[in-house]
Amino acid sequence: MTRLLIVALGLIAASPAIVFPGEADVTGVEVRQTARGIFHFDVTVHHDDAGWDHYADKWDVVAPDGTVVGTRTLYHPHVDEQLFTRSLSGVVIADTISEVSVRAHDSVHAYGGKTVTVALPR
């Protein structure tokens, strides 16, 4: 029995690593104002997309009070494209807001990965 266990552990150790996707992380945000109160976001996301059953499917721009002021839907998995950057234009944000957070969402875990908070250029 012990020999069988040692052989099995050896086979597992010799096999390629199995990666299970975790939560989607925002790894970078660039923001610029395009008109008074209107912003353009370039957001970089990392998620070990595993295909249609588990992939990063959107990211949100969130005001300090929790209000979602913009959402970029991601319509397909990015299995072979990590990290990936997508843009969102025309995000209207009140003059009273000086910073926002950007969070990513995946089809299994929902929210929970790394978020990035950025100051808005005014």
Single pTM value for the model: 0.81
Q: pLDDT > 90: what percent of the chain?
A: 56
Domains assigned to the chain? 21-119 (2.60.40.10)
Compute φ and ψ for 118, nearest 5 degrees. Answer: -130, 145
* Exposure on the CB side of residue 105, measured as CA atoms within 13 A: 15
Backbone angles phi, psi at 4, to 5 degrees: -60, -45
User: For residue 57, what are the CA distances in angstroms to 12, 14, 27, 46, 107?
Assistant: 32, 33, 15, 11, 6
Evaluate if residue 16 carries a pLDDT over 50.
Answer: no
In this prediction, residues 2-28 reach a mean pLDDT of 57
Q: Which residues pair with 117 in a beta bridge?
A: 101
User: Looking at residues 2-18, what average pLDDT do you find?
Assistant: 43
